[in-house]
Amino acid sequence: MMEKAAEPLRVEVGPTEAVSALLVQPPQPRACYVFAHGAGAGMAHASMEAAARGLAERGIASLRYQFPYMEKGSKRPDPPALAHAAVRAAVTEAARNYPALPLIAGGKSFGGRMTSQAQAASPLPGVRGLAFLGFPLHPAGKPASDRAKHLAEVEIPMLFLQGTRDALAELSLLKPVVKGLGSRATLHLLEAADHSFHVLKSSGRNDRAVLDEALDAFAAWVDEIVR
């Protein structure tokens, strides 16, 4: 049985700010992922759509949403405070739709980092874990670990799904970061994948296989932390 078509929603971020969202729900979901987009592409991007539908096939609902700058058609990401407010509003909306389900929050790149910053500042109500589809540890060509400092303040389980060719997360830096977070952090490496989970033909794999591996790992991790 296929899931219903994505349901459009509006999320109230503040008194004068609202953003679009899409709820994808399988027949009997066991969790809901509050799914933020990356800096350069919004919630309707093909990669977001594929991930949401793949999660639904694995029994996990998702609520994708726009950050305010993307809603307005701007290319300049929101200041952290506004981005964090959008994360919190989306979590609240997910809880309203699924009051009895465990929530997982996170997203692709920028969206995942804004979610973890929000969680570090003040725990997101009802969120049982954070899942990153490519955590942006540093800008391309500028290796550093400063962007991960706030993760020490996150006290719930975290899943890092990372490509081994990710130019925004050199493994020599990412692995120590994850290790330093202890048992609450899990790193799943996607062989030959880049920051967008794309693989070269010479790898012998294709992008769909990489996404399937990532989502299988996601679903298994969810089952571990919510049982």
The predicted-structure confidence for 120-178, as pLDDT tens digits, reads as follows 999 999 999 999 999 999 999 999 999 999 999 999 999 999 999 999 999 999 999 99
pLDDT at residue 5, rounded to an integer: 80
Q: Which residues on neighbouring strands pair with residue 212, listed in sequence order?
A: none
Q: Pairing between strand 103-108 and 127-133? A: parallel
Q: What is the dihedral of CA 218, 221, 222, 226, to 10 degrees?
A: -170
Model pTM? Answer: 0.96
Which helix (H) or strand (E) covers residue 108, if one does?
strand 103-108
pLDDT at residue 4, rounded to an integer: 65
pLDDT at 3 over 70: no
How far apart, in whole angstroms, are the C-alpha atoms of residue 85 and residue 67?
A: 9
pLDDT at residue 168, rounded to an integer: 97
How far apart, in whole angstroms, are the C-alpha atoms of residue 71 and residue 64?
A: 13
Q: How confident is the model at residue 10 (pLDDT cuts 50, 70, 90)?
A: very high
Q: How confident is the model at residue 2 (pLDDT cuts 50, 70, 90)?
A: very low
Q: Which residues on neighbouring strands pair with residue 104, listed in sequence order?
A: 33, 129
How far apart, in whole angstroms, are the C-alpha atoms of residue 201 and residue 204?
A: 6
Residue in this structure with the two tokens 């009802």, named with its chain if needed: 126
Look up residue 1 and give its DSSP letter: -
Give me the helix-helix angle, 46-57 and 207-226, nearest 10°: 50
pLDDT at residue 146, rounded to an integer: 95
